[in-house]
Amino acid sequence: MTSFYVHAALGVLCLVLFLRFNRHLYGRGTPAGGVGALEALYYLIAAVSLCLGWYFDIRYIQAYPAEAGWVHFTKMLFTNPAASSGAQDLIAANVFLFPLWTIIDGRRRGLRQPWIYFVLSLFTSLGFAMGLYLAAQERQVRQPVSQPRTDPV
């Protein structure tokens, strides 16, 4: 159970870094204003994903106290063909596609330190990190543009 607490503490640390890197979006008096409906939905889905993931992580640790760890957990993902199908999809999305998407798209959109979303996904959940990314992106879109747009609308 100690490893779970360390994992959770690293998740909280990553969340603090996320807020620090994005204080231009989340600080007091930011031009983006309050939380919009879509942004709130992203936060809700992120929070539910985090809570459900940690609920099942705790159940896993309780069920396999001697074996609990990354290697055993990953092996358990592939216990049958149905689980294997979902596991390979989750791993491909979380380990390869999600970092590419958030780092490349985040830089294009002006989000600061977009690598933090991938690191967050390792210590929280893919759904939580993706929800935060989409919420930050939504907040960034609502930020007033300081310079006139030069691209055709």
Range of the domain at 7: 2-141
86 within a domain of the structure (yes/no): yes
In this predicted structure, the answer to whether residue 147 has a pLDDT above a threshold of 50 is no
Asked, for residue 94, whether it belongs to a domain, the answer is yes
Average pLDDT (6-21) is 90
Q: Kindly state whether residue 23 falls inside one of the protein's structural domains.
A: yes
Any idea which residue has 């791993």 for tokens? 91
Kindly report, residue by residue over 37-70, the tens digit of the pLDDT. Answer: 999 999 999 999 999 999 999 999 999 999 988 8
Mean pLDDT score, 115-143 = 92
Q: How many domains does the chain contain in total?
A: 1
Check residue 29 and give its pLDDT. Answer: 73
The answer to the question of residue 136 being in a domain is yes
State the pTM of this model: 0.84
Question: Where do runs of H (alpha helix) occur along 92-147?
Answer: 98-109, 116-123, 126-142
In a domain, residue 126? The reply is yes
